[in-house]
Amino acid sequence: MTVLFGLDLRGKSVVIAGAGTVAERRVRRFVGDGAVVTVVAPRVSEDIERLALHGDVTVQRRGIAPEDLDGAWFVLAATDDRSLNDEIAQWAHARRVWCIDASDASRGSARQAAMSRHGETAVGVLSLGSPDPRRIRAVRDAVAEHIDAGEVDLRRRRTGEGRVVLVGSGPGDVGLITVRGRQALSEADVVVTDRLGATELLVALPADVEVINVGKSPDRHPVPQHEINRILVDKARAGNTVVRLKGGDPYVFGRGGEEVHACQAAGIPVEVVPGISSALSVPALAGIPVTQRGIATSVHITTGHAGADPAAVASMAAGATTVFLMGVTALPRIVESAIEAGCDAGVPVAIVENGSTARERVTHGTLATIAGIAAETGVKPPAVIVVGKVAEPGILGTTAAATPEPKGE
């Protein structure tokens, strides 16, 4: 009979015999689980060498010996010698140490499942008969895809400690939320949402998930920030998993820091799931690269609701790409400040409304003309304003110089 267990290897000794392809593939998983990993092998791969260099593993460059298993909690026998792997499994059995025999799983006392992690839940798939790694990986991937698509209700069934998860949902397209963000929504008992971001995802939530809309607009703040903080804390104290669904990234003008601080001050566990910031993604989706070799090598991101601050003005004057969020209402003041500071009135400007959605619209102009064009065409928030040479229509694929630029992310 096969009985499945989950092993907590954090801080525990794991010995890996061998440093070839199999060991290289599995060592990262043990490191990721927080184990104290020792690799014993006469020769090690470059990847394991790098892990040792960074202190993630300890390497003993010699053959494995029985005493290497003394004090270990778990052993992986992954040498290129089948008989040696079987012998290591016997050493482990004598010491009552769990062991995976990479040559023949039936000879070891443990088998490594094909794993996928989904927030607080992990899924593992094992072969119960003759080992079949390709089959179990196929099953794992199919199950993982189903879960990560938001098709499985991951809410806790037992009462537990409440917590808050701040999720950045990206600029609006539901396909641009991160996998972890979507998982968090599947775990939510309560969702506190803004009016921006991937709010279409709320349609797929189970009917009994409580949804609280606290969204703000430029001229209407129905729920003040201190009240949002109170809602998060109170709902979590009641034992709920609370997802704070925010547009873009929680820490880019999203007041995520204030909400995290409120949870920490109240003793509520809090997790932050970064999102794709509209400051970078919306221009990109509209064909505007915020950096381009030989044209723009720096980006300044600022909030424009109060106009252009001195740093933004200096950025525009220096020829950097300057991205304004929440700047539609203050656009005339932004333009005036830039021109008064000596910025070239002919610098291109682009305004992208409702970026990443079916209602996206791009308006082009220059510092001298954009305010008038925006007024005539009825530009409205939410919109991202991009000032700089990169906002010139058709800029993609061009370079102003052959000067090398450091590689990006």
47 annotated active-site: no
216 annotated active-site: yes
Locate tokens 């775990």: which residue? 187
Catalytic residue among 194, 235, 246, 249: 194
Length of the chain equals: 409
Catalytic residue among 80, 216, 234, 344: 216
Catalytic residues: 194, 216
